[in-house]
Amino acid sequence: MPSLSDVVRLAESILEGLEPYIRRNICWDEASPYYGGLIETVPHTPHPTWPHASYRVASAYLRLYEAYGDESYWRAARVVVDYLVRE
């Protein structure tokens, strides 16, 4: 049975590759109507999967911010939530 620290290390190793991928797929162009939206879902809007995916991304970034206190996580969560509110 793996220890809690082993599980944490495994989760953080997965997160190291996944978080930058997700960050690259958020529209960061403030002039775009899709600012804060997930780029891969924009062509499909409105579609039942995009609000769920955006909600999960915002929730994950809020949890990361709570765990690590990194302001970049807070900013990512905020722009995704703002997009959800606009839509």
Task: Kindly state the tokens that stand for 70.
Answer: 């990194």
pLDDT for 21 equals 84
41 CB neighbour count, 10 Å cutoff? 19
The list of the chain residues with pLDDT below 50 reads none
Element (H, E) at 24: helix 4-24
CA distance 31 to 52: 24
Longest dimension (CA), the chain: 50
pTM: 0.74
pLDDT for the residue 69 = 92
Query: In whole angstroms, what is the distance from residue 11 CA to residue 32 CA?
Result: 33
Query: 45-59 burial, b for 16+ CB within 10 Å, e for fewer?
Result: eeeeebeebbeebbe
